[in-house]
């Protein structure tokens, strides 16, 4: 097959950014609660602004902490885009009546080895399961892959949403995606290669933290779901 005969491959690069830390949660599970975040660590935002691609289309969830995080990146010197689309389906998992519960007590009640709030198919009372989050994230990503084919996509979202996107990139291995840590304001890049014959994902980087060598910014590590409950 000559070069002219080979099917064209279109590469769409996703740059996922988790929102900045939430400080006013009172130690409680917040899920889809629309809480503000702390964007005062300008060192972190300066570092992230240097990494993200300039010519990109921007998306966020509908929750204010993603909008505040994007604003902090732009304030750090990243050129403000003409627009940023809000996608409600990129919001964090709706944790229903678990929202407002004490996080530490909830984690202590989960089985040993748990890396999320519940089994992926178990819905929160009055809320969603992780699979519900995965499916709406998948639908949105697949749509944007068509809308923004061949472009850089910057998506400011949430720990659960980014783990769901990783699950998609792992060919639907959703539980494996929960093994990844996603720190606040970290960058996760997922590349989508599409051709008429087949489409594949690659994971160039997960939870990249341009400031990681400086312990002064360790507070960017906040829970994206329960920490793994370690064996005794």
CATH number assigned to the domain comprising residue 179: 3.40.50.1240
Looking at the domain assignment, is residue 228 inside a domain? no
Retrieve residue 163's tokens.
């783990």
pLDDT at position 114, please?
A: 81
pLDDT at 123: 97
Top-confidence residue, 134 or 210: 134
- Do residues 125 and 139 make contact, with C-beta atoms less than 8 angstroms apart? no
What's the CA gap between 188 and 203, in Å, rounded? 8
**Considering its fold, how many domains does the chain have in total?**
1
What's the burial of 58, exposed, middle or buried (CB within 10 Å: 0-12/13-18/19+)? buried
**Residue 231, domain member (yes or no):** no
pLDDT tens digit string along 33-86? 999 999 999 999 999 999 999 999 999 999 999 999 999 999 999 999 999 999
CA angle 157, 158, 164 (to 5 degrees): 100
Within a domain: residue 189? yes
E-only strand ranges, the chain:
10-18, 56-60, 84-86, 152-157, 187-194, 199-208
Render 169-200 in DSSP notation, one character per residue.
HTTT-HHHHTTS---TT-EEEEEEEE-SS-EE
Q: How confident is the model at residue 115 (pLDDT cuts 50, 70, 90)?
A: confident
Is 143 part of a structural domain of the chain?
yes
Instruction: State the Rg of the chain over Cα.
Output: 18
| Helix-strand-coil split of the chain, %, nearest 5 | 30, 20, 50
Report which of residues 220 and 144 the model is more confident about.
144
Query: Does residue 149 fall inside a structural domain?
Result: yes
Print the domain residue range for 185: 10-220
Please list the residues that pair with 155 across neighbouring strands. 16, 59
pLDDT tens column, 134-156:
999 999 999 999 999 999 999 99
Question: Does any domain span residue 29?
Answer: yes
Q: What mean pLDDT do residues 214-226 have?
A: 59
Above 80 in pLDDT, residue 220?
A: no
The pLDDT of residue 4 is above 90: no
Whether residue 106 lies inside any domain: the answer is yes
pLDDT tens-place string over residues 77-112: 999 999 999 999 999 999 999 999 999 999 889 887
**CA 153/CA 225 separation, integer angstroms:** 25
In a domain, 199, yes or no: yes
Beta bridge partners of 202: 191
């Amino acid at each position: 097959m000559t070069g002219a005969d080979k099917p064209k491959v279109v590469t769409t690069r996703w740059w996922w950014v988790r929102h900045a830390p939430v400080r006013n949660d009172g130690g409680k599970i917040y899920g889809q609660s629309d809480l503000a975040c702390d964007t005062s660590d300008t060192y972190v935002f300066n570092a992230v602004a240097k990494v993200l691609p300039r010519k990109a289309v921007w998306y966020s969830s509908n929750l204010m902490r993603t909008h505040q995080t994007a604003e902090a990146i732009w304030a750090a010197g990243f050129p403000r885009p003409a627009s940023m689309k809000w996608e409600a389906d990129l919001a964090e998992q709706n944790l229903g009546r678990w929202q407002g519960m004490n996080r530490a007590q909830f984690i202590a009640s989960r089985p040993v080895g748990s890396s999320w709030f519940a089994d992926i198919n178990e819905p929160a009372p009055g809320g969603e399961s992780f699979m519900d989050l995965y499916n709406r994230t998948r639908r949105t990503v697949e749509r944007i892959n068509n809308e923004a084919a061949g472009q850089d996509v910057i998506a400011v979202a949430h720990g659960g949403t980014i783990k769901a996107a990783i699950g998609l990139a792992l060919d639907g291995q959703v539980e494996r995606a929960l093994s990844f840590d996603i720190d606040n304001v970290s960058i996760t890049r997922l590349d989508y290669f599409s051709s008429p014959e087949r489409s594949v994902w690659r994971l160039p980087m997960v939870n990249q933290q341009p400031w990681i060598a400086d312990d002064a910014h360790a507070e960017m590590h906040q829970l994206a779901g329960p920490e793994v409950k370690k064996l005794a």
